């Protein structure tokens, strides 16, 4: 008779079957990455749809060199936009979330609802007013203009993440700081901010990835000297060359995606902690 507590054949099949299914999904997920990687190291003569699955007969970095030469200005622009944009929106979201979770005031729920409403405004609905506003501010087509747009659009989601995270911090900590004479800002800096690393990790990963992958704002509100890597990657893929340079295109796609992967690898251990902490209460 099979062990009713999980030692029977059915239980063993489930125990060994789950990893097999997971490995299958991992393999399916990594198939495009494999094609990207091996094609990027092929010389132009070997790169093509017919040989996409084959390993290179001769490994070459010519595709990576050409991709770097084409994308380097866009990568620099993307870092100049994504790093301050993610940092500023995370800091502002942290302050907003702190006020909305720990310092109740008349109309605070309505204010929070308005913040949430900002998450659902489509980019296309505000593109023309944004272009007019940035033109009046004389920052249209500049790095500063794109940073401002991403900060403003990132505040609602950052506020939501921090507000839900700060709800889990016991109110007694804030009250004890107030008893010791700390005001609102002092309590935030001394008590709340040191506990905020998981929430900052979530918002920075989210914002950095969103800003880095943005195309619509960049192509509509940017200019050739402020275009990020996404626009230049699109220009590379849409070039009118007679012979499609598959190795350059694959290397360009990998180069454009590496920074977001590195950010997640560096901050990923905080990511799930921050998400789960914000999902427990509020």
Instruction: Provide the CATH number for the domain around residue 224.
Output: 1.10.3720.10
Mean pLDDT for the stretch of residues 246-262: 92
Q: What's the rounded Cα separation, in Å, for the pair 78 and 72?
A: 10
pLDDT score at 282: 42
Contact 209, 260 (CB under 8 A): yes
Look at residue 235 and tell me if it is in a domain: yes
Q: What's the rounded Cα separation, in Å, for the pair 230 and 145?
A: 17
Lowest-pLDDT choice from 20-34, 110-124, 268-282: 268-282
Look at residue 122 and tell me if it is in a domain: yes
| Nearest of 274, 145, 277, 149 to residue 210 by alpha carbon | 149
Look at residue 231 and tell me if it is in a domain: yes
Look at residue 19 and tell me if it is in a domain: no
Q: Does the predicted model carry a pTM greater than 0.95?
A: no
Tell me: pLDDT of 239 over 60. Answer: no
Q: What's the rounded Cα separation, in Å, for the pair 164 and 203?
A: 12
Look at residue 99 and tell me if it is in a domain: yes
Q: What's the rounded Cα separation, in Å, for the pair 203 and 165?
A: 11
Residue count of the chain, please give it. 282
Q: Calculate ∠ Cα 77-94-216, nearest 5°.
A: 35
Q: How confident is the model at residue 281 (pLDDT cuts 50, 70, 90)?
A: very low
Domain span holding position 223:
64-280
State the total domains in the chain.
1
Look at residue 44 and tell me if it is in a domain: no
Highest mean pLDDT among 19-28, 40-49, 61-70, 75-84: 75-84
Q: What's the rounded Cα separation, in Å, for the pair 67 and 245?
A: 10
Look at residue 22 and tell me if it is in a domain: no
Contact 55, 38 (CB under 8 A): yes
Contact 43, 56 (CB under 8 A): yes
Mean pLDDT for the stretch of residues 79-108: 92
Q: Calculate ∠ Cα 109-191-107, nearest 5°.
A: 10
pLDDT, tens digit, for every residue of 183-212? 888 889 888 999 898 899 889 999 999 999
Look at residue 51 and tell me if it is in a domain: no
């Amino acid at each position: 008779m099979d062990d009713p507590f999980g030692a029977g054949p059915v239980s063993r099949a489930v125990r060994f079957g789950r990893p097999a299914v997971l490995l299958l999904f991992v393999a399916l997920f990594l198939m495009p990455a494999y094609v990207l990687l091996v094609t990027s190291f092929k010389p132009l003569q070997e790169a093509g749809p017919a040989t996409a699955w084959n390993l290179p007969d001769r490994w070459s970095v010519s595709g990576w060199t050409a991709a770097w030469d084409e994308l380097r200005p866009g990568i620099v622009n993307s870092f100049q936009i994504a790093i301050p944009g993610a940092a500023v929106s995370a800091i502002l979201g942290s302050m907003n979330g702190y006020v909305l979770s720990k310092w109740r005031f008349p109309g605070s729920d309505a204010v929070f609802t308005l913040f949430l409403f900002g998450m659902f405004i489509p980019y296309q609905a505000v593109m023309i007013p944004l272009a007019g506003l940035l033109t009046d501010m004389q920052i249209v087509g500049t790095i500063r203009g794109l940073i401002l747009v991403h900060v403003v659009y990132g505040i609602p989601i950052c506020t939501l993440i921090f507000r839900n995270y700060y709800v889990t911090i016991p109110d007694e900590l804030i009250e004890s700081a107030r008893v010791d004479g700390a005001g609102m800002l002092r309590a935030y800096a001394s008590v709340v901010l040191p506990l905020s690393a998981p929430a900052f990790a979530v918002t920075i990963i989210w914002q950095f990835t969103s800003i880095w992958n943005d195309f619509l704002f960049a192509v509509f509100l940017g200019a050739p000297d402020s275009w990020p890597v996404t626009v230049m990657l699109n220009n590379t893929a849409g070039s009118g060359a007679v012979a499609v340079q598959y190795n350059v295109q694959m290397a360009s796609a990998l180069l454009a995606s590496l920074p977001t992967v590195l950010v997640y690898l560096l901050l990923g251990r905080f990511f799930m902690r921050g998400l789960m902490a914000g999902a427990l209460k509020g």
